Every structure is written in C-alpha cells, then in structure tokens.
Amino acid sequence: MTADWLLHVAGLAKRYGRGCDYCYTLTGLAAATNECPRCGSLVACAEIGFTLAPGQTLGIVGESGSGKSTVLSCLYGDSEPSAGHAYFRPFADGQRDIFDITPGERRTLRNFQMGIVYQHPHRGLNLRISAGGNVAERLMATEWRRVGDIRERASALLGRMEVPASRMDDLPAFFSGGMQQRVQIAKALANGPTLLLLDELTTGLDVSVQAGVLDLIREIQAASGIAMIIVSHDLGVIRLLAERTIVMKHGRIAEAGLTDQILEDPQHPYTQLLVSSANV
Amino acid sequence: MTAPILTVTNLQKSFLLHVLGGKRVVALKGVSFTIPQGAFVGVIGPSGGGKSSLLKCLYRTYLPTGGSLDYLTANGAQIDLAAASDDAILDLREQELGYVSQFLRPAPRVTAVDLVARPLISRGVAQPEAREQATALLLRLSLPADLLDGYPVLFSGGEQQRVNIARALIAPPRLLLLDEPTSALDATNQETVLTLLQEIHAQGTTIIGTFHDLAVVRRLTDHYLQIRHGELTDAGPTATLVVAALSLTH
C-alpha cells in the first residue's frame, strides 16, 4: 500500500561453485550453514527480498560471511547474481530488472544512478591519480566535458566532504583512511545518484575518524534525499543511520524490521544474540 | 460523535527470549480500549505492569504478538499499527505519530538546537527560522543558554529529557505517546512541561501518557487507563479516578 518505491529486490541468490539441486534446500538458517553438504558449493545469499523507498536508508547487518556484502555487489553489478530480480525505478524511465541489463546499460546505471563506497578505498579509487582526478574521472563518464567546469565541480564536491582544496592534486594513496573514504564518497556522489551503496565504510577506521565519516553521511541524508543501503557488522552504525534494518545469517534474511524494533524487540534467536552482545 | 482515533482490540505482547533458553515473558495479556480524538489519556499502574510496553506497541518499537491497533489517520484511513508495513509506520512517524520516552538516547554530535529544529526542517521550515523556534522552546524549558550549542549526549538526565520533549513538541504530532515525560525533572521544569502539554492538547493533539504521579494525571488528563500485570484493570473519565485511586494499592 505504500506510495512508491525506488528498488524492489526479489529472490536474489548468489552461489559460488558447480552447484547441485540441493544447494538451496540444504543451506540457510535451519541448516546453520551456507555451504552445500552435497556438492560443497557456497550459497553466499539466497531468498533475499526487500523494498526500498526513495530517500530511505536500509541497513544490512550480520557477521562476516553472512552474505550482506554479496547483496550489494550483485546490485552494483560487481557480481553476477545466480537468481532473482531487482527492479530499479529511475533507470531507463521506467522499471527495469537491473539483473537483466546489457553491460552498456550497466555503465549508464553506474554513471548516473548508483554510487558505491567500498570498505577498502583501493577498490573504489584509482590510487595512482589525484583525488580531484578520481572525481573528475567519474564526471567525465557523463556529460561533463569542459576541464574548467570539471575541476570546479570536483573541488566543490571534495570541499563538501571536507577534503581540503590543497590536497586535491595529491594522490589518495598518501591520504589517511578517513580522508580516502571522503574521496570515495565524493566520487560516488559526483553525478547525483538516487541510490548510494555503502559497504562497511567505517570498518577499520579509528573511532574519532569513524564519527566524522558517519556525520558526513548523516549530512548527506539530511541534505539530498538520496536513498542508501548500508552494510555493516556494527549495530551502532546501523542505529545511527538506518530507518529499516535487515539481519542476515548464513546467507539468508533472519529478520527485517524498523531499526528501533530490531534493536529493542528482536525476534530471531540470532538477532537476540547479536543485540545482547553489542553495546548500542 | 466522531470515530475514535485509536481502537485497541485484544492487544497481546510477549517476549520469547531465545538467549535465556526460550523463556517467555508476558507483558500484555489481551488489552482492549478506545481513545476518542482529542483525548488526553493517562495510563496508570505499577511499574512493570505493561504501561511502557503498551506505548512501544503503539509506536511499533515492539511488535505486538496478537490483537489489532486500529488508528484513524488524518486523511480518514484506518491503519492497523500492529500489521502495517514498516514503510507505512515510518510515514506515520514522520507525519502524525510522536513518541517521547524517558530514556531516548539523543543522536551523537548534533547540537541541542539542531536536534530540536530537525522536525521543523523536515516539515519545510527554513533552517534559520527552525533554529530560532528551537532556541525559544529550549529556553522556555530553561535549558541553560550555553548548552544550546552543546551535544545532548553530554547533558544531565533532566537536560536530555527536556531536549527530547522539545523535539517532540516543536511540531506537535497528531497522536503523541509519552512515557514518563517528567520523571527526571524538578518541580519547576515539570510545571513548564505540563503547561506545554496542555497547550498542544488544546491545539488538538491527542495524547496518551504514562505518569507515576496521580496528581498529574488528575490535573491533565480527561480519561485514564489502569494497567496491572499486563491487563486493563480499570478505565474511565479521570473525574472518577479519585475513587479508583483508592483501590490502586500497588
């Protein structure tokens, strides 16, 4: 009944290995494994479904290996899903299954509609070109042509992310971890996407640096109305940023709900364990 | 007579605690009542009796185990708060449902003024105007002026509670849920908060609040509900509470 949605994912599965007929039935929450006992294939995720409203932030939590990053990488097209659909509204003026598009369409999608920030900056950045160059590269993939304009826009974006103008021409390889994440965020936002994917963006950063990056994300949420999917193992990050949360375990959704409900009234045994183990 | 804003039918809430070996804790055992539009309802009863659980079920911080919570929206639609989608609940929270808890943890690294101004900004008020209104409200709640640009995380319990109240009252919701809103306040501040509540009630907000102080209930509310051991044991117009209170030997 809800008015509209931006992204609708149904039946997403990703399997690594040769696969057999039993992979999906012999793995998951009840089986307490994501490795098929018959053929040894890894079911990174399966039966993943959710809907994301425009401007909404969805959190995906779970331990390492629960499949949460796989969901993002299938959506962004870094991995090829084994099954499922993902209908994305703004793409090609209508709803399109982004699991079923050509490489050219995928490029357009990435250039105009979707940004991603990886846990490891080297995946999202070219560390051998300048910070400004990284953002410019992204801009030039779309309609930006004039060098002066591109430089100005890149500088403005980096400035918003609190990367000083004096560092714009430096190589991000020599930046601190927090600063690298800021450059990644600037790059991901360069073309004004409708959906931003964030994969463990503060994992590995010092607590005070984490705080700065999280505050930046919150400012972006307040200012731009961009939708986000935030993958994190940290319930504190989810609590701070996400309105709705999915809890994953053994490649499946253990539980989904409003973030405050997940934290205060967790239903699934795993979520109860997760919440009672955390300090949020 | 207008339709009630809220019709609660056989609301049940229990917690199945897997981490405690499958222990089941029952909070509400089938509670039913209706709330007229524009009412100010006081929920009374002993601690641990289910008052907070009731409010949290209405806000969907708790998932009800059974029963229905039929809410009449501003545009006349009926929504069962127990069964509505997460998105529908988020929309309601944004538009017409407010909640103040005694323990709400403020967002870190946001100043008191910005925290209170936010609901206004999300309703389209310009930032300088919203900050001005937030400042005025916080000062009215006698938050020290030098704390306005401080982080509420670092405030005392009473100061945090006033920030929470200001945040909930700055853009009065259509239905306001209050969980012991004055528990950490001294007499003067409690008085200010109670006056504010009367003001927004007079402007049309329906309020359901838990209060441990029966004098407050008598002064503010027009109806009361008594919840004990997870059951609704008494309800009626507050005018009759004097007698009822005598039987309230906790």
A21 touches chain B (CB under 8 A): no
Task: Please give the model's pTM, rounded to 2 decimal places.
Answer: 0.92
Residue among A222, A257, A268 whose CB faces B86 most closely? A257
A30 touches chain B (CB under 8 A): no
A258 touches chain B (CB under 8 A): yes
Q: pLDDT per position in chain A (280 positions), as tens?
A: 345 899 999 999 999 999 999 999 999 999 999 999 999 999 999 999 999 999 999 999 998 899 999 999 999 999 999 999 999 987 766 678 999 999 999 999 998 899 999 999 999 999 999 999 999 999 988 878 888 889 999 999 998 888 998 999 999 999 999 999 999 999 999 989 999 999 999 988 888 888 889 999 998 998 888 999 999 999 999 999 999 999 999 999 999 999 999 999 999 999 999 999 886 6
CA distance B141 to B201: 18
Two tokens, residue A63: 């331990």
Chain A residues near residue B65 by CB distance under 8 angstroms: none
B19 touches chain A (CB under 8 A): yes
Conformational region of residue A110, where left means phi above 0, alpha means psi within -120 to 50, and beta covers everything else: alpha
Q: Mind spelling out the 3-state secondary structure of A65-121?
A: CCCHHHHHHHHHCCCCCCEEEEEECCHHHCCEECCCCCHHHHHHHHHHCEEEECCCH
CA distance A62 to A72: 13
B154 touches chain A (CB under 8 A): no
> For the purposes of burial, counting CB atoms within 10 Å of the CB of B29, is it exposed (0-12), middle (13-18) or buried (19 or more)?
middle
Residue among A218, A243, A267 whose CB faces B63 most closely? A267
Q: Can you list the alpha helix ranges (DSSP code H) found in chain A?
A: 68-76, 103-112, 121-124, 131-140, 147-160, 177-189, 207-224, 235-241, 259-264, 269-277
Residue B23: its H or E element: strand B23-35
Two tokens, residue A61: 């939590």
CA distance B24 to chain A (A): 12
Write b or e for each residue in A124-140: b if 16 or more Cβ atoms lie within 10 A of its Cβ, otherwise e.
Answer: bbeeeebbbbbbbbbbe
Give the largest CA-CA distance in chain A. Answer: 60
Phi, psi of A44 (to 5 degrees): -65, -40
Q: How many DSSP H helices and E strands does chain B contain?
A: 8, 10
* Cβ within 8 Å of residue B149, ≥6 positions away: B111, B112, B113
Instruction: Considering only CA atoms, give the Rg of chain B.
Output: 18
Chain B residues near residue A2 by CB distance under 8 angstroms: 85, 87-88, 91
Cβ atoms B78, B71 nearer than 8 A:
yes
Chain B residues near residue A244 by CB distance under 8 angstroms: 86-87, 90
